[in-house]
A and B are shown apart, each in its own frame.
Chain A
Amino acid sequence: MTIFSEIATITLRALLGRRRTLLMLLLAAIPILVGLLVRANGRPGAVDIGAILDGIMIRVVLPLVALVFGTAALGSELEDGTAVHLLTKPIRRSTIVLAKITVAGTLTAAMLVPSTIIAGLLLAGMLNARPGVDPVAQVFAIAIGVLVGSYLYAAIFVALSIVTSRGLLVGLGYALIWEGILAGLLPGSQVFSVREYVRGIAETIEPAAIESIVGSTAVVYASIALVAATVIASLRLAVYEVRGGD
């Protein structure tokens, strides 16, 4: 087993072995529940699949689940001291960071991509508010956006959890206040919003799937943000200090 997969395996076990997994599964199930409710309502009114998935999945569930896994993957180990056994090994810090991001991102995506697809397909049976759009292509475009967003958010939140011991709180502030409120009000600020990248990627794949401001440049922004978060996390972990009890 390589060092990378060694760290990834233990991280996955640590993340799954807790109650939080159950809570995250419940969160991931919300879009499916909404899909079922809309479907059960059964009225012939047209639904906008893109708007519903954007409002629930991209805006709320994705950042929250990625936040929890991203900050728990390394941040909570730094907090409770279990990270010391990793830090005192002759391992490149970037290997640790990459393994943590990969696990947090994969876990987020493993929960949310199926949820996006199931919720979307439930809605796809309804009358689409966007005439001429193939609802299945729309759903898969958004799911790919969610897939990329899972890793990008995970990278940002892993980095955040190294930079500050209040990663969860700061991350919540970023997701709710910055992405939720300010990025919608301040023109030009969308280029610093992961939510906007997710929408942009979906739009790039299926232009009628969803509307975004950044469009296909989202791919560039997302790549830069992913690399930057990984590099910052590695550099910060290399100078991370473990204070003792005295």
Chain B
Amino acid sequence: MTATPPVDRGLVSGLGAPGAPGSGPGSPAGALVLESVSRWYGNVVAVNDVSFALGPGITGLLGPNGAGKTTILHMLAGLLRPSAGKVLVGGVPAWHNPSVYRTVGLVPEREAVHAFLSGRAFVEMAARLQRLPDPRVAAARAIATVDLEGAADRPVGTYSKGMRQRVKIAGALVHEPTILLLDEPFNGMDPRQRLHMIGLLRSMAEAGRSILFSSHILEEVERLADGVLVIHAGRLAASGDFREIRRLMTDRPHTFVVRSSDDRSLAAAFMAEPAVFGTELRDGRLTVQVAEFGGFTRAVARVARGAGVSLFEVAPTDDSLESVFAYLVSRR
């Protein structure tokens, strides 16, 4: 693996070169900056020489579990000291600088709310700790923003995982930060809540905020982010426009496991498809090798219908992000 070069300028929306003129406070170009940042724990390297600069808009920090996403987010949130390099938030160092929290909101992945507090009490407390002039109104607005009004007066201990996630988000944006950092924000949310959250983050980005969120799920990042930073084994494996990365990821060969009412006929029908270059029936399981992810997923229902076969399950087998990222890194 070669050293990661600085992010190509202009790939991520609002991207600015680290340390470029005008990346000071108030300048949107350098809201979140990492300059050759590494972080190690003992002799384990968690983040290895990562550089990027993000401005307003939504950026996805994509990578498998353990890639170093949380370490990067926590360094940006001033909760971890970088072992080397500079981490700047709004032009000032994030570490050892509690004043940055006036403009930064963090939604940590871990549960971070006392179970005995009501959602409203938690958000109002966050508003008071931010010294907002009218904590009650600010909290009510944040709670409405995350669509939690109906449950706001119940103890957080009774919340579902998705609701807890939303109350954390309400607490993080009660002071209307210009920078919002979210660690795996969609974990535990149902599809409707996800959709709502995507809409919410989009509108916040349109209002000029800089949002960085981590995820290990490709589709989440694709649906939400303007730009993407792909992290693998502590390194920046790719960065830039999502479509480009998506194409790199989906154009590689995939293997699917298919369960259906008649695997044998379906296997024969698949072989006529240009996207498919191999099928195998073993132990009552049909595996299909395809040249391209998108082409196959578009074709599969049509092929099954044509063959008069009912599909029960279509699942990619080697789509673990680990293999996707290993593929991306191997290309560099």
Asked if A43 lies at the interface with its beta carbon under 8 angstroms from chain B, I say no
Q: Do B79 and A82 have beta carbons less than 8 Å apart?
A: no
Q: Please state if B101 and A88 are interface contacts (CB–CB under 8 Å).
A: yes
B110: which of A13, A84, A241 is its contact (CB, 8 Å)?
A84
Question: Within the assembled complex, what's the spacing in Å between the Cα atoms of A10 and B126?
Answer: 12
A238: Cβ under 8 A from any B Cβ = yes
Taking the nearest CB of chain A, how far is it from the CB of B48, in angstroms? 13
Contact with B along A235-246 (1 / 0, CB 8 A): 000110111111
Q: Does B194 contact A (CB under 8 A)?
A: no
Q: Whole-angstrom distance between the alpha carbons of A80 and B66 in the complex? A: 20
Stretch in B28-36, B68-76, B198-206, B257-265 touching the partner: B68-76
Complex Cα spacing A7 to B125, Å = 9
Least CB distance, A234 to chain B, in whole angstroms = 12
We find that the number of chain B residues with CB closer than 8 angstroms to chain A is 44
CB-based contact A84/B108 at 8 Å: yes
Query: Does A133 touch B at the CB level, under 8 Å?
Result: no
A92 and B166 CA atoms in complex are apart in Å by: 27
Question: A10 — which chain B residues lie within 8 A by C-beta?
Answer: 114, 117, 125
Name the CB-closest residue of A to B103.
A90
Given the complex, which residues of A lie within 8 Å of B101, measured CB to CB?
A: 88-90
Contacts of A7 in B (CB 8 A): 129
Given contacts A13-B114, A81-B111, A84-B112, is CB(A238)–CB(B129) below 8 Å? no
Whether B70 pairs with A244 at a CB distance below 8 angstroms is: yes
Q: Is the CB of B129 within 8 A of A244?
A: no
| Count of A interface residues, CB-CB < 8 Å | 29
Which residues of the other chain, A, contact B108 by a CB distance below 8 angstroms? Answer: 81, 84, 242, 244
- Please report the C-alpha to C-alpha distance between residue A67 and residue B130 in the assembled complex, in whole angstroms: 31
Are A84 and B116 CB-contacts (below 8 A) given A241-B81, A244-B70? no
Report the minimum CB–CB distance from B242 to chain A (whole Å). Answer: 22
Asked whether B87 is an interface residue with its Cβ less than 8 Å from the other chain, the reply is no
Q: Complex: how many Å from CA A128 to CA B210?
A: 73
- By the criterion CB–CB under 8 Å, are B71 and A246 in contact? yes
Given contacts A245-B110, A246-B65, contact A89 B74 (CB under 8 A): no
Kindly list chain B residues whose C-beta atoms are within 8 Å of the C-beta of A246: 46, 65-71
Give Cα A89–Cα B74 distance, bound, in whole angstroms: 14
Interface membership of chain B positions 3-46, coded 1 if the CB is closer than 8 angstroms to chain A and 0 otherwise: 00000000000000000000000000000000000000100001
Chain B residue numbers with a CB within 8 Å of A134 are none
Q: A1 an interface residue at 8 Å Cβ cutoff?
A: yes
Report if B302 contacts A (CB, 8 A): no
Which residues of B have CB within 8 Å of A86? 129
Q: Let me know if B106 and A88 touch, CB within 8 A.
A: yes
0 or 1 for each of B95-132: is its CB under 8 Å from A? (1 = yes): 01011111011101111111011000010011011110
B96 touches A88 (CB 8 A): no
B60 within 8 A of A: no
Contact status B65-A84, CB under 8 Å: no
Residues on A facing B (Cβ under 8 Å): 1, 3, 6-7, 10, 13-14, 17, 80-82, 84-93, 238-239, 241-246
Give me the interface of B with A, judged by CB distance under 8 Å: 41, 46, 65-71, 73-74, 77-81, 96, 98-102, 104-106, 108-114, 116-117, 122, 125-126, 128-131, 171-172, 183
* 5 intermolecular pairs with C-beta atoms under 8 Å apart: A17-B116, A88-B77, A91-B98, A241-B79, A242-B79
Q: Give 14 new A-B contacts, CB below 8 A, not counting A84-B79, A90-B130, A244-B109.
A: A3-B128, A3-B129, A3-B131, A81-B110, A82-B113, A89-B101, A90-B100, A238-B96, A239-B81, A243-B71, A245-B110, A246-B46, A246-B65, A246-B69
